[in-house]
Structure 1
Amino acid sequence: MMKQDMVQAIVSLKEKEIGVREISRILGVSRNTVRRVLRGKRLDRAQRASRYEQLTPLIQETLTFCKGNAVRVQELLKDAHGQDIPYSTLTRVMRDLELREETRKKRSGTYAFEPGAETQHDTSPHPLELGGKKVKAQCASLVLAYSRKLFVQYYPTFTRFEAKVFLREAFLFMDGSCPRCTIDNTSVIVARGSGPDALIAPEMEHFGKIFGVQFIPHEVGDANRKAGVERNFSYVEKNFLAGRTFTDWKDLNAQARAWCIQVANRKTKRSLGMSPEAAYVMEKPYLQILPPYIPPVYQTLHRGVDVEGYVHVDTNRYSVPERLIGKELEIHKLWDRIEIFWKQQKVAEHERLIDKRETRSTLQGHHLPLHRQRAHQGPCKEQRDLQGHSEPLDRYVEELKKRSSGRGMRQMRKLLSLKHTYPENPFLQAVEQALHYGMYDLSRLEQMILSHVAGDFFNIQEDDEI
């Protein structure tokens, strides 16, 4: 379906006595199309409305949600709305309705790589939504230069610790490594200098030797040297992040790994003539075999246990058994968990609190309930000693407790003291009289007891429970 402005442009150029061939070159349409328009066929033909035009608001809304990615639009229209629109038809509708602009760039050049010769690694910041909160995450990517097989993961920050965590996972994902890994010139892996002559940080150089990898930065200003990994960041941002939600870092990286396996590495690339997964089958025999045992990546810390039974790591607090209060413990900080050791024995393991501050993680059984908390449950000992001897006394105790704060321990102790101090009969008579008049002032109760004693000697016999 030709737009009216294109028809008018053809007619206008012809009126200026410009030939059919030149009009075709200027407007980028075929000569037969130009001839049909000049013969009047295009002007007279009624434009047939697309049967998908009624879905225009839905397509436009989904396109905005997917940040302009037509592939994700097609997937969401089918999964969420039951509209199975062919991809070619969808893109034609989007062009005809001018829902997006085509901004394809021409490739400036190519690099050729032998199988198993090189991997490329880089990072890029990506804004995304995590658990309903907007954050800026560091997208780490590694690609096999020959087969273009891709692996990506996300981290809140990207230091040498995260770099080793990512590269270990990436080499395991590839099930092999290459002798050369092209990187940029940032200080995460480079200690000093730039380009191929840069000095690699000793800990990263030692880490690379575990996998038989040498890190080589590209020349300053020659980012195209690792274009195999650079071009994927736009693909990840527009395809993987578009139309997806994530609850936490674990969920984000799990979805990223699944996307690499199910989408990115199965899509046919024009430059390869096949998918990265198919090219990987040919490259796999040339990859270096991984060592039989790959140790986990962790940082070793030493922390003292505070008086509340916690150790501090990255502003967060992790519980340990109370018997270790005051001891100095060895802590292994891994990417997803915290392991705590005392005399080479693991005493606790916590899920690491990533991207959080001033938060506690307490494991069940580490901190027993305080004795004070257990003591404050149920009636106090004095109340139990007072009750069960006389029905009026039991009622007086209940009414007295209602008028006291907390569990009424102070009032119960004073009433129990009066019971032990004075004879039983005057004491009970005074309690019945006080209960009758609703009098719960224990000082006045004591005066009433004295009036009932009527000259008898005080009860000075000691109670066995005192």
Structure 2
Amino acid sequence: MTAEETAKILTLHHAERWPVGTIGAQLGRHHDTVERVLAHSGLEVHKQAARARLVDPFVPFLKETLTKYPRLRASRLWSMTRARGYTGSKSGFRAIVSRLRPRRAAEAYLRRSVLPGHEAQVDWGHFGKVTIGRAIRDLWAFVIVLSYSRVRFLRFSLRAAMPSFLAGHAHAFRFFRATPRVILYDNLKSAVIEREGDAVRYHPTLLALAGHYRFEPLACAPYRPNEKGRVERAIRDIRENFFAAREFRSIEELNEQARAWCLEIASERRVPDARDTTCAEALAEEVTKMVELPGDEFPVEERVEVRVGKTPYVRFDKNDYSVPHTLVRRQLTVVASDDRVRILDPEAPATAAVVADHPRSFDRDLRVESKEHLQALTEQKRRAHQSRGFDRIFGVVPSSRSMMERIAERGGNLGATTSGLLQLLDRVGAGMLERAVAEVVAHDQPNLRAVHHVLDRLRHEAGQPPPLSVAVTSDARASVQVRTHALSTYDNLGREDETNGGDDVEAR
């Protein structure tokens, strides 16, 4: 408070008779500050008399009730007070109850001290949503902090499920080059399945991970975020100092930026308990006290049992992935990582268990297909169609079997020949087609052109018109058959006209 402000407050209050609240609002000072200045001046403070409120007669009842039931809702208190004669509004009543409600006494906490390499804290942080193609997915950050050195590891994921949870641990341990002896968790589903007081039942997959890397999982008490305050503070720092205004084109790029931030910026921070030491320097000391990494990696891929329907695709994570058509109506296993989706046949030998391998897509409603799968299905359908054609044509045109065998020996197109014979069968019937094919086979000319030529000749000899593949008209007269005559008939008609004409001249 400057001398000028003090003089201004005294002038406005004693000379202009401004109330304390008006002075505070005008000068941007709290009313308690204005009253303190006036009290130090030794002069009397002029306060306006407080106006009586409708709720004043009921304040003792409210205080007594809130003392017995500190968590009683304002809506229930308003009903109880209204039944006793209160006529005020409900909205203003809520503010009055808020001021009268007993406040929980502030709790003091001891500063936790940990030994090097002994403890780490883990938690998830939600960072909004991202759009990938047509899919809108949640963006999660797996954060782990070493309690002694305060070194952080950060990895983003599109899911907070168990596979991402396991992968976060594996990447973090490689980043630290060792494993802490104890890891603290919140009561998230990936860590704690059931809890009754101090009795905790951990997730079996987490216990398998802990046994592989040789650390002890430990669940914090419910509603006690102070027990893992280091990771809570780290998530807040990530929001403000890393993720704010961050641009990225993919999750892979975001994780590369996060790793660089952990190495270059976060590790250069000063350790709160030792201001002359950086986090990177404290980590060099802490690693020697941590547990060495095992020689092999823990399997962190997601495994899901799926069933193939009548189409050769399996549904996984909002997308369809192709499989060989021979596996329809079968139960398969999907093994997925962040970048690949492998589909396994549990009944096949281990060397041939992988029946499909696709790049993973985080879009939605896509068909991720393999060209080999589609080509095999198309070829199988083509052979099936050709086989059905063979069965039909061989049954009604016996000579066609010999014709097909000779075409196959010469490398001809069996599919086109079968299709052509089926069309001719529908047009001319089995009897005439059998005569034509038998004649073609007898003359060793196994091709459709020769069959067409023989059929045209047979129809001509039978006095039938050439067949039409498309109906030209529906008029009944179009089906009338006209027998052709020899051209000499027209010559005779000409001679008869000349004879009749000569007789007429002589008569004149």
Which band: TM-score by shorter chain? 0.5 to 0.7
* TM-aligned CA deviation for residue 271 of structure 1: 4.6
Alignment-derived partner of residue 364 in structure 1: 371
The 2-side partners of 1:181 and 1:112 are apart by: 15
Alignment-derived partner of residue 246 in structure 2: 244
The 3-state SS of whatever aligns with 1:370 is: helix
The 1-side partners of 2:119 and 2:137 are apart by: 32
Alignment-derived partner of residue 285 in structure 1: 288
The 2-side partners of 1:314 and 1:128 are apart by: 17
Pairs within 5 Å for 1:290-439: 290-342=293-345, 343=348, 344=350, 345=352, 346-354=354-362, 356-368=363-375, 370=378, 421-423=455-457
With over 3 angstroms needed to count, the CA separation of the structure-2 counterparts of 1:157 and 1:270, relative to structure 1, is: same
- Per-residue Cα deviation, 1:18-40 (whole angstroms, up to 9, x for no partner): xxxxxxxx99xxxxxxxxxxxxx
The 1-side partners of 2:327 and 2:171 are apart by: 34
Give the % identical residues. Answer: 22
* TM-aligned CA deviation for residue 210 of structure 1: 0.9
2:106 maps to 1:113: no
* TM-aligned CA deviation for residue 286 of structure 1: 0.9
| Gapped regions of structure 2 (runs ≥ 5) | 11-28, 31-107, 384-421, 429-448, 461-469, 488-508
| Amino acid paired to 1:119 | A
Alignment-derived partner of residue 200 in structure 2: 198
Structure with higher RCO (Cα < 8 A, 6+ apart):
1
With over 3 angstroms needed to count, the CA separation of the structure-2 counterparts of 1:196 and 1:278, relative to structure 1, is: farther
Alignment-derived partner of residue 124 in structure 1: 125
With over 3 angstroms needed to count, the CA separation of the structure-2 counterparts of 1:271 and 1:163, relative to structure 1, is: same
Moved more, 193-202 or 207-216: 193-202
Alignment-derived partner of residue 146 in structure 1: 148
With over 3 angstroms needed to count, the CA separation of the structure-2 counterparts of 1:125 and 1:410, relative to structure 1, is: same
Alignment-derived partner of residue 454 in structure 1: 485
Is the Cα contact below 8 Å between 1:129 and 1:246 reproduced in 2? Answer: no
* TM-aligned CA deviation for residue 418 of structure 1: 8.0
- What is the aligned length? 323
The 3-state SS of whatever aligns with 1:256 is: helix
The 2-side partners of 1:237 and 1:194 are apart by: 33
| Amino acid paired to 1:289 | E
* TM-aligned CA deviation for residue 233 of structure 1: 1.0
With over 3 angstroms needed to count, the CA separation of the structure-2 counterparts of 1:195 and 1:353, relative to structure 1, is: farther
The 1-side partners of 2:480 and 2:262 are apart by: 88
- Per-residue Cα deviation, 1:402-433 (whole angstroms, up to 9, x for no partner): xxxxxxx989x979998654459x9xxxxxxx
Alignment-derived partner of residue 214 in structure 1: 216
The 3-state SS of whatever aligns with 2:297 is: coil
The 2-side partners of 1:304 and 1:268 are apart by: 54
| Amino acid paired to 2:321 | Y
Is the Cα contact below 8 Å between 2:138 and 2:159 reproduced in 1? Answer: no
With over 3 angstroms needed to count, the CA separation of the structure-2 counterparts of 1:232 and 1:196, relative to structure 1, is: farther
Is the Cα contact below 8 Å between 1:196 and 1:218 reproduced in 2? Answer: no
Which of 152, 160, 163 does residue 161 from structure 1 map onto? 163
| Amino acid paired to 2:205 | E
Is the Cα contact below 8 Å between 1:153 and 1:253 reproduced in 2? Answer: yes
* TM-aligned CA deviation for residue 195 of structure 1: 6.8
Moved more, 225-234 or 108-117: 108-117
| Gapped regions of structure 1 (runs ≥ 5) | 1-5, 18-25, 28-106, 375-408, 427-438, 457-466
Is the Cα contact below 8 Å between 1:181 and 1:214 reproduced in 2? Answer: yes
Greater fraction helix: 2
The 3-state SS of whatever aligns with 1:173 is: helix
- Per-residue Cα deviation, 1:88-141 (whole angstroms, up to 9, x for no partner): xxxxxxxxxxxxxxxxxxx97632211101010111222144459875422221
Is the Cα contact below 8 Å between 2:130 and 2:139 reproduced in 1? Answer: no
With the length of structure 1 as denominator, give the TM-score of the two structures.
0.57
The 1-side partners of 2:137 and 2:368 are apart by: 23
Which of 11, 14, 33 does residue 4 from structure 2 map onto? 11
The 3-state SS of whatever aligns with 2:288 is: helix
Is the Cα contact below 8 Å between 2:150 and 2:271 reproduced in 1? Answer: no
Alignment-derived partner of residue 172 in structure 1: 174
* TM-aligned CA deviation for residue 448 of structure 1: 11
With the length of structure 2 as denominator, give the TM-score of the two structures.
0.53
Is the Cα contact below 8 Å between 2:270 and 2:279 reproduced in 1? Answer: yes
The 1-side partners of 2:185 and 2:207 are apart by: 13
| Amino acid paired to 2:283 | Y
* TM-aligned CA deviation for residue 373 of structure 1: 8.8
The 3-state SS of whatever aligns with 1:193 is: strand
Is the Cα contact below 8 Å between 2:209 and 2:298 reproduced in 1? Answer: no
| Amino acid paired to 1:13 | T
Is the Cα contact below 8 Å between 1:196 and 1:216 reproduced in 2? Answer: no
| Amino acid paired to 1:359 | L
